[in-house]
């Protein structure tokens, strides 16, 4: 009889977001007429902007012609898209050869974990996106150090108490807290990685939401980061591609393993072995998104969700609540002292029919918090604010 992968026994029975959906369905089964408003999962709700939609349509239409049909594409991604990401996203701080196009940042996190295997130690922001830990556990990682990021340390880890590790997972703007690391903070992180010969896995999926020009959008704005960091980006939250699936990972040529082997060499080998490349149609949408008009439309979409976040913060700030985030990020992080996150989740579900995300699902330091997502139709966000105001 086939044995189960023993590493799966280290996981919780369910992943965070299916658990939320299950509780939501259970509530609806008991209250079928309830009008739930979801401020929980970070899924986009507004239509894909027109220029980007036309790019997707044109990409699909071309496949229906003899001249425009393409089969397998380059595993690393279309050259034009890689060039546009290097130029428009990174302002040529990276080369197109260092950019790998994928079906999303979440998928690349899993592939990166396969690259490094289970015999590594990791440090992860706490709270943070659950995939960092769960994916590592699936690969057999046993040495996991949680770096608490709380209001008390301004949501940046105390590196003096962080032990030397092989990999450091870091997300800015952070999901779920909405905190954005400053240049000085990222300099400290890069310096820590250099001293301990660690590799930073830098998740910049929400970087486009950073509107403050004094804050870094990329780890590569920090001197020396090319020698210690891999960065992932995504079209999901900036172009509405959560269902289209398109992202990228930057692996600098200067980044080396302990034996001197360039990490990009092994990443290329893994990438071209288990992945046949992102959808040709999705990549045409990505190219359109990075045109002048497409970029402007993405900024408008970003501003819409940021306005949702601002409305949530403004609508609740006069109540006795500890509110964080909501600026330069699409998430609002609220503390409920002395209460369990799942209890608060259930209370909000039952009393005002609002679905949130319990902070404990993002790590031990998330206990006592809930996350509100700004991804939603404006009318639903406004109604959710009114419901919350009546409760508090």
Annotated binding site for pyridoxal 5'-phosphate: 72, 105-106, 129, 175, 206, 234-236, 245, 276
- How many whole angstroms separate alpha carbon 28 and alpha carbon 21? 10
8-state DSSP, 67: T
How many Cβ atoms sit within 10 Å of the Cβ of residue 79?
13
Token pair of 149 as six digits: 């990021």
Dihedral of the CA atoms 251, 113, 147, 305 (nearest 10)? 70
Residue 183 vs residues 39, 101, 131, 158, 217: alpha-carbon distances, Å: 30, 27, 26, 16, 10
* Rounded Cα gap, residues 145 and 318, in angstroms: 37
CA proximity to 326, closest of 339, 338, 337, 315 = 315
Give buried/exposed letters for 207-223 (b at 16+ CB in 10 A, else e): bbbbeeeebbbbbbebe
Q: Binding site for substrate, residues?
A: 15, 42, 106, 129, 175, 276, 371
* CB-based contact 206:373 (threshold 8 Å): no
The DSSP bridge partners found for residue 248 are 101, 233
Annotated binding site: 15, 42, 72, 105-106, 129, 175, 206, 234-236, 245, 276, 371
Residues found in the chain? 392
Place of tokens 């990166």: 112
């Amino acid at each position: 009889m086939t044995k189960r992968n023993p590493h799966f026994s280290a996981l919780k029975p369910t992943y965070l977001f299916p658990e939320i959906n299950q509780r939501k369905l259970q509530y609806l089964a008991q209250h079928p007429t309830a009008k739930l408003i979801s401020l929980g999962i970070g899924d986009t709700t507004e239509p894909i902007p027109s220029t980007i939609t036309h790019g997707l349509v044109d990409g699909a239409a071309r496949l229906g012609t003899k001249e425009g049909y393409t089969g397998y594409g380059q595993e690393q991604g279309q050259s034009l898209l890689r060039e546009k990401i290097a130029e428009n996203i990174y302002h040529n701080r990276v080369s197109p050869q260092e950019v790998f196009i994928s079906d999303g940042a979440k998928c690349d996190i899993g592939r990166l974990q396969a690259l490094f295997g289970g015999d590594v130690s990791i440090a992860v922001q706490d709270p943070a996106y659950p995939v960092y830990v769960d994916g590592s556990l699936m690969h057999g990682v046993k040495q996991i150090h949680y770096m608490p990021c709380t209001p008390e340390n301004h949501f940046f880890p105390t590196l003096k108490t962080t032990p030397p590790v092989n990999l450091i997972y870091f997300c800015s703007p952070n999901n779920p807290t909405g905190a954005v690391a400053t240049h000085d903070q990222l300099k400290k992180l890069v310096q820590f990685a250099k001293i301990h010969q660690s590799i930073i896995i830098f998740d910049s999926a929400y970087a486009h939401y950073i509107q403050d020009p004094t804050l870094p959008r990329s780890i590569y704005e920090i001197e020396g980061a090319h020698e210690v960091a891999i960065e992932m980006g995504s079209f999901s939250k900036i172009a509405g591609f959560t269902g289209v699936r398109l992202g990228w990972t930057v692996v600098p040529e200067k980044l080396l393993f302990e034996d001197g082997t360039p990490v990009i060499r092994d990443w290329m080998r893994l990438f071209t072995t288990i992945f046949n490349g992102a959808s040709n149609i999705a990549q045409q949408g990505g190219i359109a998104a990075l045109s002048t008009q497409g970029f402007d439309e993405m900024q408008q979409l970003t501003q819409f969700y940021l306005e949702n976040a601002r409305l949530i913060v403004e609508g609740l700030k006069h109540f006795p609540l500890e509110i964080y985030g909501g600026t330069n990020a699409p998430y609002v992080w609220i503390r409920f002292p002395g209460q369990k996150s799942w209890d608060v989740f259930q209370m909000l579900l039952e009393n005002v029919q609002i679905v949130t995300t319990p902070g404990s699902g993002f790590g031990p330091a998330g206990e006592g918090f809930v996350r509100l997502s700004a991804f939603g139709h404006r009318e639903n966000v406004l109604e959710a604010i009114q419901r919350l105001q009546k409760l508090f």
